[in-house]
């Protein structure tokens, strides 16, 4: 147990709900004076309803958390919004204190700051590196030793003495990450920072974080990006309603978490679609509008987690508000950064095209099947576009997210992670001295 | 929840244990020392960025007290005919303005420590006191510039033959500045701690600082007050440490001013009391203020 760097014992954190104080100094002083004399607080509200997690106006953001983390471990923390992930990190990074329990730490904790936190726009890159380093608890000497590496990683060599207000947002993010990643703290806390920055940089960050852990630094990583979590963290902790419900290897925990969330995903209703639509839209005289988009399996069940060996059916319900000619429907599968991975038009299929040339007003349903054994293990996003040539283009970008769990082929699970497209292709192999050497597809 | 510490636990060496509740008076002085580079960088940042955003730059440091002094001289001197202990009016008001503005700047800047830095404070831990400490230091630079302006006019007045004579008290100037730093720091962090809960205090502050100035012998010398009120009320008046600070400053440079050991002692008592209250409350608030802001 000598290698433990974090030990959390019976940790609990209580927040007050809504009104923080009585709002006036007078009432606060009155309450305080009453408590000081051991009397009953005259301003205490009396309630006897028992709401789970709620006690009067208080609720527990974290309860009974016990956790031990060893040196060099990379631990992912997942859970829905409000599950207590960020509260846990805030306690660990000393931004707030626990209500109950203890947290014991060995070494310094640095948190990867959100973009530009503690950056001053008027100061140069160099000045900001030192300031940010100091905010993270590093002496000037320590920062100076790491300066070159930070600058190279962030790719800001030429702009080191330029005020950061002239930096692109990408440079900003890279610099912020680099400062935290290269400083020698024993425990690095990362809270969803990688959501920004391009894919290339995210990969670089994940790589760097792996390196960092290899050097004996411990990483705590909070993210909603399951593929990043699985990629980086061998161990994952699942929080739900402030309690630690699962702690185990990443594939297990992530799968459990996703299976819990099935009901949530998989469908977008007309309200959401209206709010999210963009493109060339004629608001006065609409011709086509989405009504529902859903992801189904072959049995018609709405889902957001698919195995790679099952068909994914995109169901698009829309309405023609007047006569529509030559309707095109585009289904686009994109990654986090909106880069297209796969596209398909309704008119690609020779069997359905004719139906779409002339549409009378009314509701329609279109289905597009993404065949099984196509995708690798990743999170994907669905973009759908309705195109009535010359009148309207209605697009809903990244309207649904789905995750594919790669099942492997022939009981072989290897290399399905973090690849977008992982189809089962035809292969053939034979010794070159064979008589059939020139005739591959014999 | 009582936590029992058994023997094997003690053998393990944890660098840091986060408790639910720590003692009332927990300053993290060790932390402050470790983060001294941060304080220095804050000072540097504020100093640099001040120049970069203005056209006249440091000239504002000079113009500010001069304009105020001119206004005071005209309104309170020429029209109000408030006596100035026989000191030439302009230099009298300038001395008050320069001293007061160090105190007022420190106070108003430290008093919004929590609100202004909520973003950074919510993301990362560093000793929160480093922010107000850096404010007090950065304002020293401003004060130095303004003090030189004062010295220039002061020398000019002497050359012109004004009946003012500097005393040995001048040697105590650093002590005076130090006391102002402590007082403004203490009051500032006290107010900033309270503003996390009671936001309206922020608006009260601008008003309060102004009122405080009128009660600090910047304009009306303590000798005039002493003539008008009974001894008991004079003592109440002298509870304001800024009165004796401004009076001592004038006594040092002009040889005029209401300076008594008992007033100095009272001033220091109040200063230290405020400082203690401020630091204590600040320490209480800083642990959990992110939950309330």
Q: What is the pLDDT of residue B17?
A: 80
pLDDT tens, A399-432?
A: 888 888 888 787 665 666 778 898 888 888 877 7
Q: What is the pLDDT of residue A176?
A: 80
Q: Where are the domains of chain B?
A: 25-292
Q: What is the pLDDT of residue A335?
A: 85
Higher-confidence position of B146 and A419: B146
Give how far B17 is from chain A: nearest CA, Å: 4
Range of weakest confidence among A300-304, A370-374, B61-65, B173-177: A300-304
Backbone angles phi, psi at A93, to 5 degrees: -95, 15
Q: Residues B229-234: what's their mean pLDDT?
A: 88
Give how far A151 is from chain B: nearest CA, Å: 19
Range of weakest confidence among A33-37, A382-386, B7-11, B20-24: B7-11
Distance separating alpha carbons of residues A357 and A374, to the nearest angstrom: 30
Question: What are the Cα distances from residue B19, in Å, to A9, A11, A109, A220, B12?
Answer: 11, 10, 16, 21, 17
Confirm if A398 and A381 have CB atoms less than 8 A apart: yes
Higher-confidence position of A323 and A57: A323
Q: Which of A195, A313, A305 is CA-nearest to residue A251? A: A305
Q: Residues A193-222: what's their mean pLDDT?
A: 76
Q: Residues A337-354: what's their mean pLDDT?
A: 82
Q: What percent of chain B has pLDDT over 70?
A: 90
Which of A213-222, A425-434, B241-250 ranks highest by mean pLDDT?
B241-250
Chain A interface, best mutation among B1, B37, B57, B289, by max A CB count within 10 A: B37
Question: What are the Cα distances from residue A2, in Å, to A6, A71, A74, A205, B14?
Answer: 11, 9, 17, 29, 10
Q: What is the pLDDT of residue A435?
A: 57
Q: What is the pLDDT of residue A441?
A: 52
The single residue listed with the structure tokens 């010398």 is B221
Q: What helix, strand, coil percent values describe chain A, rounded to 5?
A: 25, 35, 40
Instruction: State yes or no: pLDDT of A196 exceeds 70.
Output: no
Of how many residues is chain B composed? 293
Distance separating alpha carbons of residues A321 and A149, to the nearest angstrom: 60
Higher-confidence position of B244 and B118: B244
Q: What percent of chain A has pLDDT over 70?
A: 80
Distance separating alpha carbons of residues A114 and A132, to the nearest angstrom: 12
Q: Which residues contact A218 (CB under 8 A, 6 or more apart)?
A: A5, A6, A69, A70, A71, A72, A73, A74, A75, A186, A187, A188
Interface size, chain A vs chain B, as Cβ–Cβ contacts under 8 Å? 123
Q: What is the pLDDT of residue B132?
A: 93
Q: Which of A81, A46, A85 is CA-nearest to residue A239? A: A85
Q: What is the pLDDT of residue B101?
A: 93
Q: What is the pLDDT of residue A49?
A: 39
Count of Cβ atoms closer than 10 Å to residue B115 Cβ: 15
Q: Are strands B16-18 and A100-105 parallel, antiparallel or unpaired?
A: antiparallel
Q: Is A385 helix (H, G, I), strand (E, B) or coil?
A: strand
Q: Which of B1, B12, B18 has the CB atom closest to A94's CB atom?
A: B18
Q: Residues B208-231: what's their mean pLDDT?
A: 89
With contacts defined as CB-CB under 8 Å, which chain B residues touch A94? 18, 125
pLDDT tens, B15-69?
A: 778 777 655 556 667 778 888 889 999 998 888 777 676 666 678 788 889 999 9
pLDDT confidence of A48, banded at 50, 70, 90?
very low
Higher-confidence position of B248 and A302: B248
Q: Which of A25, A96, A102 has the CB atom closest to B290's CB atom?
A: A96
With contacts defined as CB-CB under 8 Å, which chain B residues touch A114? 123
Distance separating alpha carbons of residues A342 and B186, to the nearest angstrom: 63
pLDDT confidence of A356, banded at 50, 70, 90?
low
Confirm if A74 and A232 have CB atoms less than 8 A apart: yes
Q: Which domains, from first to last, does chain A contain? A: 4-12+63-260 (3.40.50.300), 19-56 (no CATH), 267-405 (2.70.50.60)
Higher-confidence position of B122 and B212: B212
pLDDT confidence of B265, banded at 50, 70, 90?
very high
Mean pLDDT over the full length of chain A: 79
Question: What are the Cα distances from residue A27, in Å, to A42, A79, A379?
Answer: 9, 39, 52
Distance separating alpha carbons of residues A439 and A425, to the nearest angstrom: 19
Q: Is A109 helix (H, G, I), strand (E, B) or coil?
A: strand
Q: Is A433 helix (H, G, I), strand (E, B) or coil?
A: coil
Instruction: State yes or no: pLDDT of B133 exceeds 90.
Output: yes
Closest-CA residue of chain A to B117: A118
* Interface contact flag, A135 B288, Cβ < 8 Å: no
Give how far B171 is from chain A: nearest CA, Å: 35
Backbone angles phi, psi at A405, to 5 degrees: -105, 115
| B5 in contact with A, Cβ within 8 Å | no
Q: Which of A97, A117, A123 has the CB atom closest to B287's CB atom?
A: A97
Give how far A139 is from chain B: nearest CA, Å: 6
* Interface contact flag, B292 A96, Cβ < 8 Å: no
With contacts defined as CB-CB under 8 Å, which chain A residues touch B3? 102
Would you tell me which residues 98-137 of chain A have a C-beta closer than 8 angstroms to some C-beta of chain B? 98-111, 113-114, 117-118, 120, 122-123, 127, 130-131, 134-137
Q: What is the pLDDT of residue A40?
A: 59
Secondary structure string (H, E, C) spanning chain B: CCCCCCHHHHHCCCCEEECCCCCCCCCCHHHHHHCHHHHHHHHHHHHHHHHHCCCCCCHHHHHHHHHHHHHHHHHHHHHCCCCCCCCCHHHHHHHHHHHHHHHHHHHHHHCCHHHHCHHHHCCCCCCCCHHHHHHHHHHHHHHHHHHHHHHHHHHHHHHCCCCCCCCHHHHHHHHHHHHHHHHHHHHHHHHHHHHCCCCCHHHHHHHHHHHHHHCCCCCCCHHHHHHHCCHHHHHHHHCCHHHHHHHHHHHHHHCCCCCCHHHHHHHHHHHHHHHHHHHHHHHHHHHHHHHHC
Phi-psi region of B113 (alpha: psi -120 to 50; beta: other; left: phi over 0): alpha
**Statement: the pTM of the whole predicted model exceeds 0.90:** no
Q: What is the pLDDT of residue B266?
A: 94
Task: Identify the H or E element spanning A75.
Answer: strand A74-78
């Amino acid at each position: 147990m000598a290698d433990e760097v974090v030990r959390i014992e019976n940790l609990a954190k209580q927040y007050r709900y809504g009104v923080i104080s009585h709002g006036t100094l007078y009432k606060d002083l009155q309450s305080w004076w009453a408590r000081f004399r051991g009397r009953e607080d005259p301003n205490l509200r009396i309630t006897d309803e028992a709401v789970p997690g709620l006690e009067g106006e208080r609720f527990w953001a974290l309860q009974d958390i016990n956790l031990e983390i060893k040196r060099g471990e990379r631990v992912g923390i997942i859970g829905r919004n409000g599950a207590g992930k960020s509260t846990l990190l805030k306690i660990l990074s000393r931004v707030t204190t626990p209500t109950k329990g203890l947290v014991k730490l060995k070494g310094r904790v640095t948190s990867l700051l959100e973009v530009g936190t503690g950056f001053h726009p008027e100061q140069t890159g160099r000045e900001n590196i030192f300031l940010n380093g100091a905010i993270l608890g590093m002496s000037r000497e320590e920062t100076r030793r790491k300066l070159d590496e930070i600058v190279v990683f962030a790719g800001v060599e030429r702009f080191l003495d330029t005020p950061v207000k002239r930096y692109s947002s990408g440079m900003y993010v890279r610099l912020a990450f680099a400062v935290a990643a290269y400083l020698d703290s024993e425990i690095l806390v990362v809270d969803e920072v990688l959501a920004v920055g391009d894919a290339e940089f995210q990969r670089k960050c994940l790589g760097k974080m792996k390196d960092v852990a290899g050097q004996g630094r411990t990483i705590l990583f909070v993210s909603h990006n399951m593929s990043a979590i699985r990629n980086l963290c061998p161990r994952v902790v699942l929080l739900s309603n402030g309690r630690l419900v699962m702690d185990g290897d990443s594939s297990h925990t992530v799968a459990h978490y996703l299976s819990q969330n099935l009901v949530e995903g998989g469908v977008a209703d007309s309200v959401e679609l209206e709010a999210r639509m963009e493109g060339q839209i004629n608001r006065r005289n609409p011709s086509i509008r989405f009504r529902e988009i859903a992801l189904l399996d072959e049995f018609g069940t709405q889902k957001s987690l698919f195995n790679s060996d099952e068909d994914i059916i995109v169901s698009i319900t829309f309405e023609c508000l007047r006569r529509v000619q030559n309707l095109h429907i585009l289904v686009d599968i994109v990654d986090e950064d909106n880069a297209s991975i796969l596209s398909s038009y309704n008119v690609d299929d020779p069997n359905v095209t004719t139906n779409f040339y002339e549409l009378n007003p009314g509701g329609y349903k279109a289905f597009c099947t993404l065949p099984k054994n196509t995708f690798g293990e990743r999170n994907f996003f669905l973009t759908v576009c309705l195109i009535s040539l010359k009148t309207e283009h209605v697009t809903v970008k990244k309207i649904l997210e789905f995750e594919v769990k790669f099942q492997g082929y022939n009981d072989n699970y290897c290399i399905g992670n973090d690849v977008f497209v992982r189809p089962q292709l035809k292969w053939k192999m034979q010794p070159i001295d064979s008589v059939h050497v020139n005739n591959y597809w014999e | 929840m009582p936590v029992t510490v058994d023997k094997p636990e003690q053998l393990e060496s944890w660098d840091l244990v986060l408790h639910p509740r720590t003692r009332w008076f927990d300053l993290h002085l060790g932390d402050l020392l470790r983060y001294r580079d941060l304080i220095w960088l804050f000072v540097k940042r504020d100093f640099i960025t001040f120049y970069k955003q203005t056209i006249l730059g440091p000239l504002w440091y000079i113009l500010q007290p001069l304009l105020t002094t001119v206004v005071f001289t005209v309104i309170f001197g020429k029209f109000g005919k408030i006596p100035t202990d026989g000191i030439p009016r302009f230099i009298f008001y300038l001395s008050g303005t320069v001293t007061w503005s160090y105190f007022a700047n420190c106070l108003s800047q430290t008093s919004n420590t929590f609100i202004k830095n909520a973003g950074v404070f919510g993301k990362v831990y560093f000793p929160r006191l480093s922010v107000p400490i850096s404010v007090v230091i950065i304002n020293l630079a401003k004060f130095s510039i303004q003090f030189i302006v004062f010295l220039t006019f002061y020398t000019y007045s002497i050359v012109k033959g004004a009946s003012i004579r500097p005393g040995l008290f001048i040697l105590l100037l650093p002590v005076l500045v130090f006391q102002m730093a402590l007082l403004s720091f203490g009051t500032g962090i006290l107010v900033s701690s309270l503003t996390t809960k009671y936001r309206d205090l922020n608006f009260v502050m601008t008003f309060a600082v102004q009122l405080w100035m009128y009660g600090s012998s910047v304009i009306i010398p303590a000798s005039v007050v002493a003539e008008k009120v009974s001894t008991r009320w004079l003592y109440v008046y002298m509870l304001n440490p800024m009165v004796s600070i401004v009076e001592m400053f004038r006594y040092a440079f002009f040889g005029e001013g209401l300076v008594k050991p008992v007033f100095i002692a009272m001033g220091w008592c109040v200063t230290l009391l405020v400082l203690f209250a401020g630091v204590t409350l600040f320490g209480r608030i800083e642990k959990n203020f992110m939950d309330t802001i």
